Amino acid sequence: MASGQTATFIYVPSVEPAVAPGSSFTFEIEIAFTPGGSVSNLEGLSYWFQQKTPAGAPFNFAITLRDASVGPFTDLQTASISYPQNLSPVNANDLGGLQPTGTPGLGAGTYAVANITVSVSNTASPGQYIIDNTTSGGKISVITDSNGHTFAIPEADFTIDVIPEPATWITPALGVIALLLVQRRRILKLCSVS
């Protein structure tokens, strides 16, 4: 890495969402950028997401919307993207964008990139999952400057807790309550007999 050069994804909210199977959530991506080495400014970026853990199937997440209007990178790499973009394990299309033509590259700072909406499969098992930006293979997340120089964006993890739906909590709770009521009746019956 060249001296002083950084490009790091930040996810907002930074706390992990707790979501039920069949639901969705939205988070904002920001990029913290410091020029250095051959990268003199920030003109745009290319990025993909992947399901990091578990590393194999089943793949329980899909991107259902990318809203890049929240940041300066509105000249989209894949303008007519089709949804859902399943993370199996990597989504198919580049989610990044460039600044509009004629706009000077950005200097050091933190910039909004996009709001990303992700759906959770109806069949997702409860547990902790991690998605992150790609860092290897044919789809490497990178920034670019106005001179065409690129720099790989380091891995940034986003943790998701899939929790059982409230309806699945109620059934066991009702079973316990029913069992307690039956036990209470037995105790009261025993007390009245003696």
Our count of domains for the chain comes to: 2
Contact 49, 32 (CB under 8 A): no
pLDDT number for residue 175? 58
| Of 130, 107, 117, 11, the residue nearest 59 (C-alpha) | 130
* 1 found inside a domain: no
pLDDT number for residue 179? 55
Does one domain contain both 109 and 141?
yes
* 133 found inside a domain: yes
Does one domain contain both 184 and 144?
no
Does one domain contain both 65 and 119?
yes
Does one domain contain both 138 and 184?
no
Residue type, 100: P
- Please list the pLDDT of the chain residue by residue as tens digits (194 residues): 445 679 999 999 866 779 999 999 999 999 999 999 999 999 999 999 999 999 889 999 999 999 999 999 999 999 899 999 999 999 999 999 999 999 999 999 999 999 999 999 999 999 999 999 999 988 999 999 999 999 999 999 999 999 986 554 445 555 556 555 556 566 666 666 65
Contact 162, 21 (CB under 8 A): yes
Domain residues for the domain of 187 are 166-194
Q: How far is CA 92 from CA 29, 30, 48, 88, in A?
A: 19, 21, 8, 9
Cross-strand partners of 10: 30
Does one domain contain both 36 and 55?
yes
Does one domain contain both 113 and 181?
no
Sequence-distant (6+) residues with CB within 8 A of 24 are 64, 117, 118, 119, 120
Does one domain contain both 120 and 154?
yes
